[in-house]
């Protein structure tokens, strides 16, 4: 059963649901920094919705007119939407990383990007230059009184949540060394047994090589590191996200190979040297959350690191995971192959029809039998999953995710989909033909008991007016029109990840 509630002009939605020209304008830089109360609102902002939505993503797609090669190389910009007493306030600010300040001063690209951005002057000007910029553009979280902008290859940047001013790099009291990686995908365990049921933040870092090191970090909500343990796994690991359960961290080691030579000699970015290996299996790495030194007391975790195998494929993001007896269930967005970053190609000319869509798969890992059973659950192009925060690592029923307008094929995200994983029912709210979607965030209604009682918040880019909207959907029923649409005065370039906190900053 599916219900499609379309954007105002549903009858005019063309066959393809979008034009590349419209989609592309969402990738223009936003150079201005704003600070204002949002006055242009359709519908009503629920007064019980109190708190702050933070978003991060590339704000600059060029440096003084010199275009970057891939959006992932764009300087991080924080957007903050504060909800208070039925009103909303907007503020955005660039993260003042050292490289951002240097490049803005020089008014030109000074650093190579991981995804192929090169300094001007050809390959000989880029060869053997391994200095990459920490662009802090992937996620933003508020934890322990600190607002942190995350980028997976280096340490977070700390910001003032009120002014969004950059305060410096965060090393968690020396737990991270200068430049040490800290992934952009922390998971918040709502109730950690090792901490008497307190909530904790679990994150990781990857040090890739011929064999790779995965380090697990667990922090309490004051930002203090409680547990840190490192594990060596065979092969080159390119891992962006992971999933947690009460007892395990789960990583999918995609079947790829890395040839560093074109990067070293200045021909390609490091991210362009990753090649998908369609005939190799995906390795599923299961690491107990209990550190090895305290594992003897814990019989359940005595097995140590386990590596299982499943069919080849590529996963950026996991929706959630949970334990059932000897099995771990993992829901992930899977691609048949890795969309390679082609050097020399312009991402603005992307041919969506030639690329494989992401679909939702459910993997059952049997730790006793050492088997993985994968099953396609949602064959509708989708990406950027979100779940109720109290169900992270636990059995859950509802998933919210960015989706294509059309049920089949591959295209930019223009809609949001709610999936009932028990009944299989899907509901889609679409902003097609001229609207483009992003990562949704689920916010529970205060005092709610039902898993889908709350709101789904997201930014939608409206190409018709070249501005963005903050859309508030009733999570209980996507088939209704949004609870509210907040029209910003400008656009926000397509972003990556963000989060919601109940704290109000304005
Ligand atoms: Co991500």
State pLDDT tens for residues 446-456.
999 999 999 99
Q: Are 62 and 74 in contact (CB under 8 A)?
A: no
Measured in angstroms, how far is the CA atom of residue 239 from the centroid of ligand 1?
Answer: 10
Measured in angstroms, how far is the CA atom of residue 300 from the centroid of ligand 1?
Answer: 30
Cα maximum dimension of the chain: 64
Measured in angstroms, how far is the CA atom of residue 151 from the centroid of ligand 1?
Answer: 10
Measured in angstroms, how far is the CA atom of residue 122 from the centroid of ligand 1?
Answer: 31
The 10s digit of each residue's pLDDT in 24-59 is 999 999 999 999 999 999 999 999 999 999 999 999
Measured in angstroms, how far is the CA atom of residue 308 from the centroid of ligand 1?
Answer: 23
Backbone angles phi, psi at 47, to 5 degrees: -60, -25
Measured in angstroms, how far is the CA atom of residue 295 from the centroid of ligand 1?
Answer: 31
Measured in angstroms, how far is the CA atom of residue 402 from the centroid of ligand 1?
Answer: 13
Measured in angstroms, how far is the CA atom of residue 363 from the centroid of ligand 1?
Answer: 19
Measured in angstroms, how far is the CA atom of residue 212 from the centroid of ligand 1?
Answer: 20
Instruction: Give the chain's mean pLDDT.
Output: 90
Tell me the helix, strand and coil percentages in the chain, rounded to 5: 10, 45, 45
Measured in angstroms, how far is the CA atom of residue 181 from the centroid of ligand 1?
Answer: 15
Res 122: pLDDT: 72
Measured in angstroms, how far is the CA atom of residue 86 from the centroid of ligand 1?
Answer: 31
Measured in angstroms, how far is the CA atom of residue 332 from the centroid of ligand 1?
Answer: 12
Measured in angstroms, how far is the CA atom of residue 138 from the centroid of ligand 1?
Answer: 7
Can you tell me the mean pLDDT for 148-170?
A: 97
Can you tell me the mean pLDDT for 409-418?
A: 96
Q: Is the pLDDT of residue 407 over 50?
A: yes
Measured in angstroms, how far is the CA atom of residue 339 from the centroid of ligand 1?
Answer: 15
Q: Are 259 and 265 in contact (CB under 8 A)?
A: no
Measured in angstroms, how far is the CA atom of residue 316 from the centroid of ligand 1?
Answer: 6
Q: Are 201 and 187 in contact (CB under 8 A)?
A: yes
The 10s digit of each residue's pLDDT in 349-392 is 888 888 899 999 999 999 999 999 999 999 999 999 999 999 99
- Helix (H) or strand (E) holding 263, with range, is helix 261-264
The 10s digit of each residue's pLDDT in 265-317 is 666 776 777 788 888 899 999 999 998 877 655 555 446 899 999 988 889 99
Measured in angstroms, how far is the CA atom of residue 423 from the centroid of ligand 1?
Answer: 28
- Helix (H) or strand (E) holding 288, with range, is strand 282-288
Comparing C-alpha atoms, which of 304, 324, 255, 246 is closest to residue 284? 255
Measured in angstroms, how far is the CA atom of residue 76 from the centroid of ligand 1?
Answer: 14
Measured in angstroms, how far is the CA atom of residue 318 from the centroid of ligand 1?
Answer: 9
Measured in angstroms, how far is the CA atom of residue 496 from the centroid of ligand 1?
Answer: 7
Buried b (16+ CB within 10 A) or exposed e, 245-279: bbbbbbbbbbbbebeeeebbebbbbbbbbbebeee
Question: Over pLDDT 70: what percentage of the chain?
Answer: 91
Task: Count Cα atoms within 13 angstroms, Cβ side, for 428.
Answer: 24
Res 344: pLDDT: 66
Res 8: pLDDT: 41
Measured in angstroms, how far is the CA atom of residue 317 from the centroid of ligand 1?
Answer: 6
- Which one is predicted more confidently, 119 or 342? 119
Q: How confident is the model at residue 197 (pLDDT cuts 50, 70, 90)?
A: very high
Q: Is the pLDDT of residue 6 over 50?
A: no
Res 263: pLDDT: 66
Res 208: pLDDT: 86
The 10s digit of each residue's pLDDT in 61-100 is 999 998 888 888 899 999 999 999 999 999 999 999 999 9
325 Cβ partners below 8 Å, 6+ apart? Answer: none
Measured in angstroms, how far is the CA atom of residue 156 from the centroid of ligand 1?
Answer: 15
- Helix, strand, or coil (residue 158): strand
The reported pTM is 0.93
Measured in angstroms, how far is the CA atom of residue 417 from the centroid of ligand 1?
Answer: 18
Place of tokens 């304005």: 506
Res 353: pLDDT: 87
Q: Is the pLDDT of residue 14 over 70?
A: no
Q: Is the pLDDT of residue 9 over 80?
A: no
Measured in angstroms, how far is the CA atom of residue 46 from the centroid of ligand 1?
Answer: 29
Measured in angstroms, how far is the CA atom of residue 18 from the centroid of ligand 1?
Answer: 24
Measured in angstroms, how far is the CA atom of residue 392 from the centroid of ligand 1?
Answer: 16
Measured in angstroms, how far is the CA atom of residue 242 from the centroid of ligand 1?
Answer: 10
Burial class (CB in 10 A: 0-12, 13-18, 19+), 404: buried
Measured in angstroms, how far is the CA atom of residue 140 from the centroid of ligand 1?
Answer: 11
Measured in angstroms, how far is the CA atom of residue 258 from the centroid of ligand 1?
Answer: 20
Task: Count Cα atoms within 13 angstroms, Cβ side, for 385.
Answer: 30
Measured in angstroms, how far is the CA atom of residue 105 from the centroid of ligand 1?
Answer: 30
Measured in angstroms, how far is the CA atom of residue 294 from the centroid of ligand 1?
Answer: 31
Q: How confident is the model at residue 127 (pLDDT cuts 50, 70, 90)?
A: low
Whether the bond into 433 is cis, omega within 30 of 0: yes
CA-to-CA distance for 116 and 128, rounded, in angstroms?
14
Res 345: pLDDT: 73
Measured in angstroms, how far is the CA atom of residue 185 from the centroid of ligand 1?
Answer: 6
The 10s digit of each residue's pLDDT in 183-193 is 999 999 999 99
């Amino acid at each position: 059963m599916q219900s499609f509630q379309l954007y105002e002009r549903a009858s005019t939605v063309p066959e393809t649901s979008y034009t590349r020209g419209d989609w592309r304008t969402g990738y223009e830089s936003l150079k201005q920094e704003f600070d204002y109360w949002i006055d242009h609102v359709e519908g009503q902002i629920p007064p019980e919705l109190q708190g702050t939505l933070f978003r991060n993503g590339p704000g600059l797609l060029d440096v003084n007119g010199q275009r970057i090669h891939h959006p992932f190389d764009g300087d991080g910009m924080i957007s903050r939407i504060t909800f208070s007493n039925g009103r909303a306030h907007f503020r955005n600010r660039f993260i003042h990383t050292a490289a951002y300040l240097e490049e803005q001063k020089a008014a030109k690209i000074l650093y190579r990007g991981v995804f192929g951005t090169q300094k001007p002057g050809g390959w000989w000007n880029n060869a053997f230059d391994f200095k990459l910029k920490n662009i802090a553009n992937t996620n933003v979280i508020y934890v322990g009184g600190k607002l942190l902008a995350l980028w997976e290859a280096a340490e977070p940047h700390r910001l003032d949540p009120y002014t969004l001013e950059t305060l410096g790099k965060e090393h968690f009291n020396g737990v991270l060394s200068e430049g040490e990686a800290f992934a952009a995908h922390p998971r918040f365990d709502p109730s950690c047994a090792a901490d008497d049921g307190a909530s904790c933040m679990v994150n990781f870092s990857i040090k890739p090589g011929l064999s790779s090191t995965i380090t697990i970090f667990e922090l309490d909500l004051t930002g203090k590191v409680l547990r840190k343990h490192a594990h060596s796994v065979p092969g080159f690991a390119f891992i962006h996200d992971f999933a947690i359960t009460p007892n395990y961290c789960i990583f999918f080691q995609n079947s790829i190979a890395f040839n560093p030579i074109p990067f070293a000699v200045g021909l390609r970015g490091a991210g362009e040297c990753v090649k998908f290996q369609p005939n190799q299996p995906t390795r599923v790495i299961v690491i107990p959350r209990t550190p090895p030194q305290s594992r003897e007391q814990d019989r359940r975790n005595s097995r140590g690191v386990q590596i299982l195998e499943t069919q080849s494929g590529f996963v950026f993001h996991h929706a959630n995971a949970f334990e059932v007896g000897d099995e771990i269930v993992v829901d992930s967005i899977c691609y048949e192959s890795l969309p390679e970053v082609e050097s020399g190609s312009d991402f603005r000319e992307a041919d969506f029809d030639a690329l494989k869509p992401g679909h939702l798969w459910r993997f059952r890992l049997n730790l006793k039998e050492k088997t993985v059973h994968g099953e396609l659950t949602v064959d509708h192009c989708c990406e950027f999953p979100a779940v109720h925060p109290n169900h992270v690592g636990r059995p859950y029923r509802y998933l919210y995710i960015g989706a294509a307008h059309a049920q089949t094929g591959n295209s930019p995200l223009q809609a949001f989909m709610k999936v009932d994983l028990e009944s299989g029912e899907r509901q889609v709210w679409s902003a097609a033909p001229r609207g483009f979607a992003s990562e949704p965030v689920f916010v529970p209604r205060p005092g709610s008991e039902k898993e889908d009682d709350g709101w789904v918040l997201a930014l939608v880019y409206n190409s018709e007016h070249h501005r963005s909207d903050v859309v508030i959907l009733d999570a209980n029923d996507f088939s209704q029109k949004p609870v509210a649409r907040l029209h910003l005065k400008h656009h926000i370039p397509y972003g990556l990840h963000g989060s919601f906190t109940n704290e109000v900053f304005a």
